[in-house]
Chain A
Amino acid sequence: MPAALRPIRWPASTPEALRKETPFNYAVGPDGNVPKGTSLIEGEWPGVRAGRQSGAAEAGPTGKLWVNANGWRVQQEQAGNPEQRVWLDHGATGNRVLTPYDYLLAMAEAETYGARWVVTEDAAGELPALTQAARFFSEHEEWTDWATVAAAGVISDFQGPIRTLSQEVLNLAGRRTLPLHVITPQRAEQQPALAPGVKAWLYLSMKEPSPALRAKLWSFVDSGGLLLSASPLQTAKATGSSNGYQWFNRGKGRIGVPDQKWSNPYALAADLHLLLGREHDTVRLYNTTAVNVHYTASGDGRRGVVQLLQYAGLRAEQNVTVALGRSWKKARLYTLTAEKPEPLIVTESRFGADIPVPALSTYAAIELEA
């Protein structure tokens, strides 16, 4: 069963006894063999991107540090099949010298999004720490079944000329701390209903939606939703123009069609966020520079987890506050090094709940109880 498997590329010299002592129980060979139900995709080593000239950290279009992240790759891969187990395989490092922190981040990042990282041959020296981390994630496997707490979503087939645009929207929405539901048109069509809680969908495909999906999207708009789409989906005449969009009212909601063809993924992610409105944010982070967040909750909404990935290396982020758009009663902090969880103070706020987090390095999970 793929969920129980943990992939690794063993160095040939590894003794059989050592192989059996670790939780890494699936050896990936040079041919990239993977079990059925698993998709092996190429990622890149996570971390802050260094500038080409200075070697200093590079700022991205968000104004924040530019990070190489892989969560969006997993989301894209799972968009058409959430049951698919995704294994992330990071290739050559180029000139980058990896540190113990990099291996832990690679594992934590993949696990956060419900994927597995294929442990690389050169990570042999870090096996004790990686083993401990793998056991931690195994103990919290249920988190991977929980749904993203998001008010925005992207419907995309990630094909044709919009492939890169769609991928970068996922990536940059993450840097804006805008969680997304991601789904392909085919799967959206098959599902009984679009994801509950989503108030704005971005439809990114070169193909018009099928009649069945269009009916779902219209129903979503009729009930007050916001849809951004390259075409008005055969809805009647535009009722106005603002913020770079032609607006088509339907029922209680509206469809926005861009005045100019979408080309800038950061601007598109920002449009989705701001046209939705920050009042619908589900999570905000304060005092972070290179942190991505993955916020999920159980189906009944009684439990949740905020997983924080810190991409800036060993330098811990200080005074981080996680603000959540709903109230939670209890919060516990897990890290990959602490033996037991630490209770956190949850303060009610106008937004919902504020949770101060002690110094944050590499990875932390805040488990929540309503």
Chain B
Amino acid sequence: MTCFNRRNFLRSAAAAPFLPIASLRAEAPAAPVAVAQCKSYGQELLPTLDEMFDQLGGLERIVSGKTVAIKVNLTGSPMYRLGHDPAELAHWTHPNVIGCVMHLMNRAGARRIRILESPWNTTEPLEQYMLEGGWNPSDLLHAATRVEMENTNYLGAGRKYSRLMVPGGGHMFRGFDLNHSYEECDVFVSIAKMKEHATAGVTLSMKNCFGITPCTIYGQGSPKDEPGQRPAGGRGPFHSGDRQPAASALPENDPSTPRQGGYRVPRIVADLVAARPIHLAVIDGIESMAGGEGPWNRGVRRASPGVLIAGTNCVTTDAVGTAIMGFDPMATRGTPPFEHCDSTLQLAELHGLGTRNLSRIEVLGAPIQKVLFPIRKV
């Protein structure tokens, strides 16, 4: 006969980490998600986004009079292309999507807009990084009245790193030391690309925030004690757990947990979006790629889903995005797209950030079935 005492309860919790925590949580909140078909980055883009934001209740209520920080996705080296196509047609957020969102935010009364990204292995200004990738950053700098850019892969223009804590303690980290820009904003926006991810299953608005962490602290070559002056290497330690961050930052909660990317990355992402909540999630699924998150993955190919997704809740938005990609957002480890990893959606839901249950999510605009793009069939 099984005796359900506290010790057994904790043992079973370690074996099946989701169940007991979930049972202790209140139901995660739901929020509507706007979906639209959009086949190109041309003239249809701006009115489409405009309508989507209207469906969500208007941008004014989110950004008016506010400092807005936008995390974009410029993953990998700017010298990488999938085939010969520019990065924005495969793995980077397209600049037209960023520019149109900024334009609409400006019209909605945003006081200041900061574009943020932690470019690969460099302290170069973000503008220079964009130029290297073939963009003209002045297009974005002039998309609204007061625009700034910051490379957040190091201390940047701040005097010190900002420590943002994970409410409830975090799956893997209690808090993170980040570039000041992630704290010094009223509104935080993730403009992501809709694509698969070799480690985390999908890349959507939450996974985009993996890149808010500075590699001066969390990178492969960061010093042992203090943050480095320059980022050195990528975020390998987040994947492999082969080392702790610089000692100036909070260490992992439990270094005895699996040293496996599929276990660690989804938890770290869920912790990050709990520590730095996303107020608006925008997913660029107009042109994208299948099979991974960048040209460096094996077997990747171009994809043209022709869809835009936006919402004020990152979990519900990503749940709809996951469904549009042809997956079940309720899927757990072992089921596509999470064959080799835990579900970031599930882990974020456990944080109480939002629901991934489609039956609780109102989809505005185009129904999921209409824009369904089973990405594995590309």
Residues of A within 8 A of B (CB): 63, 270, 274, 277-279, 281, 284-288, 319, 321, 323, 349-351, 354, 356
Instruction: Evaluate contact between B124 and A274: CB separation under 8 angstroms.
Output: yes
Hey, which chain B residues are within 8 Å of A279, CB to CB? 131
Instruction: Evaluate contact between B79 and A287: CB separation under 8 angstroms.
Output: yes
A274, A277, A287, A350: the one within 8 Å of B134 (CB) = A350
- In this assembly, does B173 line the interface, its C-beta being within 8 Å of a C-beta of chain A? no
Query: Do A284 and B124 form a contact, CB below 8 Å, given A319-B83, A356-B84?
Result: no
Query: Do A319 and B136 form a contact, CB below 8 Å, given A63-B121, A274-B128, A277-B128?
Result: no
Instruction: Evaluate contact between B79 and A278: CB separation under 8 angstroms.
Output: no
Whole-angstrom distance between the alpha carbons of A12 and B135 in the complex? Answer: 58
Whole-angstrom distance between the alpha carbons of A288 and B132 in the complex? Answer: 14
Whole-angstrom distance between the alpha carbons of A354 and B89 in the complex? Answer: 15
Instruction: Evaluate contact between A274 and B79: CB separation under 8 angstroms.
Output: no
- In this assembly, does B125 line the interface, its C-beta being within 8 Å of a C-beta of chain A? yes
Hey, which chain A residues are within 8 Å of B295, CB to CB? 287
B81, B120, B121: the one within 8 Å of A321 (CB) = B81
- Can you give 13 contacting A-B residue pairs, CB < 8 Å? A63-B121, A274-B128, A277-B128, A278-B132, A279-B131, A284-B132, A285-B79, A286-B81, A286-B84, A287-B80, A321-B84, A349-B134, A351-B134
A278, A288, A349, A356: the one within 8 Å of B131 (CB) = A278
Closest 5 pairs (CB-CB, A-B):
A278-B131, A356-B84, A286-B81, A321-B84, A278-B128
> Interface code B129-153, partner A: CB below 8 Å = 1, 0 otherwise?
0011011100000000000000000
Whole-angstrom distance between the alpha carbons of A319 and B79 in the complex? Answer: 11
> Interface code B141-176, partner A: CB below 8 Å = 1, 0 otherwise?
000000000000000000000000000000000000
Whole-angstrom distance between the alpha carbons of A349 and B80 in the complex? Answer: 17
Q: Which residue of A lies closest to B138 (CB)?
A: A279
Q: Which residue of B lies closest to A284 (CB)?
A: B132
Whole-angstrom distance between the alpha carbons of A356 and B125 in the complex? Answer: 28
Distance in angstroms from A312 CB to nearest chain B CB is 15
Q: How many A-B residue pairs have CB under 8 A?
A: 41
> Interface code B182-220, partner A: CB below 8 Å = 1, 0 otherwise?
000000000000000000000000000000000000000
Whole-angstrom distance between the alpha carbons of A278 and B125 in the complex? Answer: 11
Hey, which chain A residues are within 8 Å of B83, CB to CB? 319
Whole-angstrom distance between the alpha carbons of A287 and B300 in the complex? Answer: 15
Distance in angstroms from B74 CB to nearest chain A CB is 14
Distance in angstroms from A240 CB to nearest chain B CB is 16
Hey, which chain B residues are within 8 Å of A323, CB to CB? 134
B69-125 with Cβ < 8 A to chain A: 77, 79-81, 83-84, 120-121, 124-125
Whole-angstrom distance between the alpha carbons of A288 and B81 in the complex? Answer: 10
Whole-angstrom distance between the alpha carbons of A339 and B168 in the complex? Answer: 69
Hey, which chain B residues are within 8 Å of A321, CB to CB? 81, 84
Whole-angstrom distance between the alpha carbons of A286 and B88 in the complex? Answer: 14
Whole-angstrom distance between the alpha carbons of A281 and B133 in the complex? Answer: 12
Hey, which chain A residues are within 8 Å of B121, CB to CB? 63
A-B contacts besides A321-B81, A323-B134, A351-B134, 11 pairs, CB < 8 Å:
A270-B124, A274-B124, A281-B131, A284-B132, A285-B79, A286-B80, A287-B80, A319-B83, A321-B84, A350-B136, A354-B84
Hey, which chain B residues are within 8 Å of A349, CB to CB? 134
Distance in angstroms from B335 CB to nearest chain A CB is 33
Whole-angstrom distance between the alpha carbons of A152 and B124 in the complex? Answer: 18
Whole-angstrom distance between the alpha carbons of A287 and B295 in the complex? Answer: 9
A63, A319, A350: the one within 8 Å of B81 (CB) = A319
Hey, which chain B residues are within 8 Å of A351, CB to CB? 134
Hey, which chain B residues are within 8 Å of A350, CB to CB? 134-136
Whole-angstrom distance between the alpha carbons of A270 and B125 in the complex? Answer: 12
Distance in angstroms from A276 CB to nearest chain B CB is 10
Instruction: Evaluate contact between A284 and B134: CB separation under 8 angstroms.
Output: yes
Distance in angstroms from A199 CB to nearest chain B CB is 15
Distance in angstroms from A316 CB to nearest chain B CB is 15
Distance in angstroms from A57 CB to nearest chain B CB is 16
Q: Which residue of A lies closest to B84 (CB)?
A: A356
Q: Which residue of A lies closest to B82 (CB)?
A: A319
B84, B120, B125: the one within 8 Å of A319 (CB) = B84
Hey, which chain B residues are within 8 Å of A286, CB to CB? 79-81, 84
Hey, which chain B residues are within 8 Å of A270, CB to CB? 124
Hey, which chain A residues are within 8 Å of B125, CB to CB? 274
Hey, which chain A residues are within 8 Å of B128, CB to CB? 274, 277-278
